[in-house]
Amino acid sequence: MASLCMNSLPLPPSSHSKKLALTEASSSSNGSIAAAATASKPIVVSGNTPTFVSAPGRRIVAVGDLHGDLDQARCALEMAGVLSSDGLDLWTGGESVLIQLGDVLDRGEDELAILSLLRSLDMQAKAEGGAVFQVNGNHETMNVEGDFRYVDSGGFDECSDFLEYLNDYENDWEEAFVGWVGMSERWKEDRRLSRNYWGPLNLVKRQKGVIARSVLFRPGGPMACELARHGVVLKVNDWVFCHGGLLPHHVAYGLERMNNEVSLWMKGLSECGNNPKIPFIATRGYDSVVWNRLYSRDISDLEDYQISQQINAVLQDTLRAVGAKAMVVGHTPQFAGANCEYNCSIWRIDVGMSSGVLNSRPEVLEITDNKARVISGKRDTFTEFHVVDYT
């Protein structure tokens, strides 16, 4: 199964890259992006699976759960100043660092297209001195386990389309994957025009979609290997990013160790040559990295003050152990929008923007010079930004 892990194949020069070199970033008028553009030291990444990142002088932008909604994902990325608004999907962030906090999968019909877009932006960003990172969430690990309970019907259809689309690319996985975001809408439209709504045929179509998804996401499958490029926790400068929440025992276990175990499992490999075991501490249980909701609880009553203090103590112990100023998490939708707690030691930035969740207005977190602020856009108006500064 490991032979299906083809994401190390080289990609021929992209027309997007050529256009990017000739295109002035549309967001260059944004002062914070312009300031970050003066950075000259290279980004240094440590770990077989990216775990520790030194990004001197870079503007960092974090985006929460996207759950298969490509339109909302594009909106969030445009607001963040890293994606062009002309429909060409060009990187406009210069030397910025973009971090997506997982849960791209489930609840929407454009999951693979979003993953394709993020990979394309990463390749473009590297050419500009920037970078794109992702961490896996619980919905990524669930799909690799074969748990498809939250897959949208359109998500199964996209897997069927994508598997058929791959046939035209033989073994050139990377070119095929990066190109999918530009082709997915056409495949979707062709499918809708040819769809037969008779019940028995729909059942056959659904079965085909389930099989396609299983082939793509099983350990060692092409999409599982794509997800294996990312860990479950990432430390960039003085900030730590993960989907659910990091705890002291996770740090004691070893961040790089956890990331490597998750990556090997997704690739269908094992350090000892046996069938890979599911990395429990990272992906299973209420206190695992991808499932933990300890820091996202809404504790407002005075009677919960003691609990709040205990949570803060755990958080501070974790940050000291990992050597970080603050933590940024997704996973738990914040009905009032992205926010921080415990003297802004924890930022919760899952706003449920996907139409499959809350369909709320997108919001992103921007970090410059170790100071963070939330950028949120008015619905249907993305040329004006509403900025809330918490530090």
What does residue 287 show for φ and ψ, rounded to 5 degrees?
A: -110, 15
The burial of 34, by beta-carbon neighbours within 10 Å (0-12 exposed, 13-18 middle, 19 or more buried), is given as middle
Q: Region of 245 please: left (phi>0), alpha (psi -120 to 50) or beta.
A: left
Classified as helix, coil or strand, 25 is coil
The burial of 383, by beta-carbon neighbours within 10 Å (0-12 exposed, 13-18 middle, 19 or more buried), is given as exposed
Residue type, 46: S
Catalytic residue, chosen from 16, 67, 139, 250, is: 139
Angle between helices 173-194 and 111-127 (to 10 degrees): 150
DSSP for 141-165, please give it. Answer: HHHHHT--TT--HHHHHHHHHHHHH
**DSSP character at residue 83:** B
Instruction: Answer for the pair 387, 374: CB distance below 8 angstroms, yes or no.
Output: yes
Q: How far apart are CA 154 and CA 111, in angstroms?
A: 9
Q: How far apart are CA 272 and CA 256, in angstroms?
A: 18
Q: Is 139 a catalytic residue?
A: yes
Nearest residue to 27 (alpha-carbon basis) of 61, 51, 2, 62: 61
Catalytic site residues? 139
